[in-house]
Structure 1
Amino acid sequence: MQWTEKTRRIKNWLVVVAILIAVAALLASRYLVRDLQREEQGKMEVWAKAMEALNQEDEMTYLMLVTQVMESNNTIPVIVLDSKDQVMDYRNIDDTTSVREYAMRMKQSGNVIRIELDGDYQQVCYDESIMLKRLTYYPYWALAIVMVFALVAVFAILAAKRAEQNKVWVGLSKETAHQLGTPISSLMAWVEVLKESYPNDALIPEMAKDVKRLERIAERFSKIGSLPEPVETSMNEVLDRVIEYMDKRTSQKISIKGHYPDHAVMVRINASLFEWVIENLCKNAVDAMEGGAGKIDLWLLEEDDIVAVEVVDTGKGIKKKDIKNVFRPGFTTKKRGWGLGLSLAKRIVEEYHKGHIYVKSSEQGRGTTFRIELKKA
C-alpha cells in the first residue's frame, strides 16, 4: 500500500476521533444544561409557593422569609399573570414594552406554574436565565473556536511540512544538476574527439544529441526552486520537439501524433521546463499501455484567451478513486516509481506558468486525457 493511502487513513481516523470527542463534549454540556434547567424549574416552584404564601398571608406566615425568597431571584425572567392573562408583576425583564407577549411565549413553551387562590388563580410564567442560555450555546461557540484554531494549526503544519519538502527537493535537484555537470562536459569533449576520428560514423551525431539531451535535463534540475523567466515561444515547436524525442525512444507499436492549428500558437513559457511536463505525460501514457499497442495524440487548442494542450492516450486508464490523488507527491500505481513526476508537472504548470493541469477524463480500459491550460501570450 502506498504511503499516501496510509496517511489518508490516519487523517480519517483522526477526524473520526475528533468528531467523537466533540459529540462527547456536546452530550456532557447537554446533561449539564438539563440539570440546570431542572434546578431553575425547582427554584421557580419555590418562588411560586412563596408568592402563594404571600397572597394567603396570616399571622402564622413569615412575611419576611417569603419576601426574601422572592427577591433572591436575580437571574430568571418571571412574569406573573392573573386569570385573565393580564400582567400583575415581573422581574428580570429588560424590554418592558412587550412583557405580555413575552409571557404568552413562555406559556406556549410550557414554562408556567399555576397558583390557586380563593376562587381564582395566578400564573407564574418563567424563562431560562441568561446564564443558562449562554451555557446552552457556549459549547458550540467553544467547539467552533477550537475547530478554527485546529484548522489554522493543521494548515500551518502542512505549510511548514510542504516548505521543508520543497527545500529538500530543491536541494536535491540542484545537487543533481551540479553532479551531472562534470560527466556531461566530459562526454561532450569525447563526442568531439569521436567526430574527428570517425567523421562518417552515423551513430556519433545521435550520441551528440543524447549528450545535448543530458545537458538540457541538468538545466531543468538546476531551475527547480527558482522562478524561470518565461519567453514568448511557439507551442507548436515545443510539441514537435517532444514528439521527435519520444518517437525515437518508444516502441513502434505506439504512435505519437500532434494536432495543431495552421498558424503558430504563441505562449509565454519556459520551453525547457514545459517540454519536460509534456514528456512526463507522454511517458506515463506509454507506461499505461503496458507494452501493448496504442497511440498518443497531442492536441493544441485555442479557446478565447486560453491555450490548451491535451495529451490523449489509449492506455489502461485511471481508477476513479485515484484521479484526485494523481498529483499528490508520492502517489503512484507503478511497482517501481517515486510518484513525483505528476507532482512536479503540476508545480511547473501552476506555480511557474500560472496555468492549470488536471485529468479531463479517464475510463478504465479506454484511456486518459490530461489537459493543460495557459493564458495566451
Structure 2
Amino acid sequence: MDFKPKRKTTNILLLISAFVIVSLILWNTNVFFEKFKDEERKKIEIWASAQTELLQSSVEDELGNLPLIVMANNTSTPMILVNKDGAIKPHNIDEKLANDSIQLQRLIKKFAKENEPIESVEEGEVLQTIYYGNSEVINKLKFYPIALLLIFLLFGTVIYFVFKSYRASEQNKVWAGMAKETAHQIGTPLTSLLGWNELLKSEHIKEEITIEIDKDIDRLKTITERFSKIGSVPELHVYDVVLETKKAFDYLKRRSSKLIHFSMNSGNEEIPVMLNPPLYNWSIENLVKNGIDAMKGKGNISVDIEQKGNMVNVLISDTGHGLPKSEFKNIFNPGYTTKKRGWGLGLSLVKRIIEEYHSGKIRVLSSSKDGTIMQISLKIFK
C-alpha cells in the first residue's frame, strides 16, 4: 500500500491550516489596532473639547473643574498644541525636545503623518490645532504582528528540526538493522565456505589455492564483523596504528591494478592508539578506494604516518583530479558523491567511525589538480 499520497495531502492541509490561522491572527490584530487608534482619537477629541472650554471659560463657570480633570487624565499621548497666533505648547513630550523649536517642528510633521490633526473651532474660527502622535501602547502594538510572526517562525523551525532529527534517527535505525541483517545473512554461507575449504585441503588441492580461499574467508569475516557493529558502540583496545594501517593498505595493494603505485612511510616505531581494528581498517580502505577512483585507476597512492605531540596523523595521498575548496566539508555529508554510481555513504561512514567512535578528526588537508591529501588524527595512548 502506498502511503505517500496521503502523507502529501496531510502536509498540504497542515500548511493551509497554518496559513489560515496566521492570516486570521494578523487580521484580528490589525482590526484591534485600528479600533484602538479610533478610541485614542476619541480621547484626544474629548481632550480638545476640554481645552476649548477651558480657553473660553474660567474655573468659576458652571463647568467647574471638569476640563482640568479631563486634561490631567491624559498622560500617555504625546501632543503639540498650536494656537491661532502660532504659539506652540507641547504636552506629554520629553523636556529636551519640548525646549527645542526645531525638534518640535519635526514632531509636528511626524504627528501629522501618523494621525490627522484635530482643530478646535469656535464660530468658524480655528482657535488651536492639536497634533498628536501614537501613544506608547499603540507603538508597541505596531510591532506585535512582527513579534507574532517571529514566534511562529521560531516554533515552526523547532518543530521542523525535531521532526528532521526524528526522521534521521528512524533512518539510522533502518540502516543499522539492514547492516546487522546483512551480517547475519553472510554468516550462513561463510560457515559453509569454511567447511568446503577444509574439504579441499583434505583432497590435497594446491596449497596456494586453499591459502587464498582462507584469506578471502577471513576478509568476509572482517566484513561481517564490520556490519554487525553498525548501530552499536564498538569496543576499543590498544593497537599499533602503524601495523593496522599497513594491514588495510596491503590488502588493497594486492588486489589493485598494477597501474597504481603504492607507497607507505611510517618508520619502525610502534604507535599505540585506542582502536577498533575492523572499523578503523574499513576507514583506511574507504579513503584509499576513493583515491583510486579519483585517479581513474592509474596513479600514485601513498600513506604517511607521523607523530605530532600526543597525536598521530595518518595522511592518505592520491594523484587524482582534486576537489574545489568549497567542497572540503560537503564530501562528508551523507549522499554526497562525484561518481556516476555510488550512494555517497563511504566518507560519511569514515567520519562517523573516526570522530564518533575513535574521538579523532578527519579532514581534507589539501587538494588541487595534482591530487588530494586526507588526514586522520588520533590521540596516542599513553
> What pairs up with 1:190-229 in 2 under 5 angstroms?
190-198=196-204, 200-229=206-235
- The equivalent of 2:335 in structure 1 is 330
Question: 2: distance between equivalents of 1:139 and 1:318?
Answer: 47
Q: Which amino acid aligns with 2:379?
A: K
2:334 is paired with a residue whose SS is coil
**1:56 to 2:55 alignment:** yes
Shift of residue 308 of structure 1?
A: 2.1
1:370 to 360, 368, 374: 374
- Contact preservation (8 Å) 2:234, 2:276: yes
| Aligned-pair identity (%) | 35
Shift of residue 217 of structure 1?
A: 0.7
Unaligned runs of 5+ in 2: 1-18, 122-126
Shift of residue 266 of structure 1?
A: 1.5
**1:299 to 2:307 alignment:** no
Shift of residue 240 of structure 1?
A: 0.7
1:227 is paired with a residue whose SS is coil
Residues 124-166 of structure 1: per-residue CA shift (max 9 Å, x gap): 6755323212213323322332232122112211211111111
Task: Indicate the larger mover: 324-333 or 162-171.
Answer: 324-333
Residues 218-260 of structure 1: per-residue CA shift (max 9 Å, x gap): 0111111111111111110011101210111111111222222
1:179 is paired with a residue whose SS is helix
Question: 2: distance between equivalents of 1:259 and 1:34?
Answer: 75
Unaligned runs of 5+ in 1: 1-19, 91-97
> What pairs up with 1:283-362 in 2 under 5 angstroms?
283-291=289-297, 293-320=298-325, 322-362=327-367
Give the TM-score normalised by structure 1: 0.75
Q: Which amino acid aligns with 2:304?
A: W
- The equivalent of 2:11 in structure 1 is none
Task: Indicate the larger mover: 229-238 or 345-354.
Answer: 345-354
2:180 to 174, 179, 182: 174
- Contact preservation (8 Å) 1:231, 1:269: yes
1:198 is paired with a residue whose SS is coil
Q: Which amino acid aligns with 2:318?
A: D
Shift of residue 271 of structure 1?
A: 1.1
Give the TM-score normalised by structure 2: 0.74
Alpha-carbon distance change, 104 to 170 in structure 1, aligned in 2, over 3 angstroms: farther
Kindly tell me the number of residue pairs found equivalent between the two proteins: 345
- Contact preservation (8 Å) 2:302, 2:316: yes
Shift of residue 357 of structure 1?
A: 2.0
Question: 2: distance between equivalents of 1:311 and 1:236?
Answer: 13
Alpha-carbon distance change, 194 to 29 in structure 1, aligned in 2, over 3 angstroms: same
**1:77 to 2:89 alignment:** no
Question: 1: distance between equivalents of 2:34 and 2:337?
Answer: 55
Alpha-carbon distance change, 68 to 43 in structure 1, aligned in 2, over 3 angstroms: farther
1:180 is paired with a residue whose SS is helix
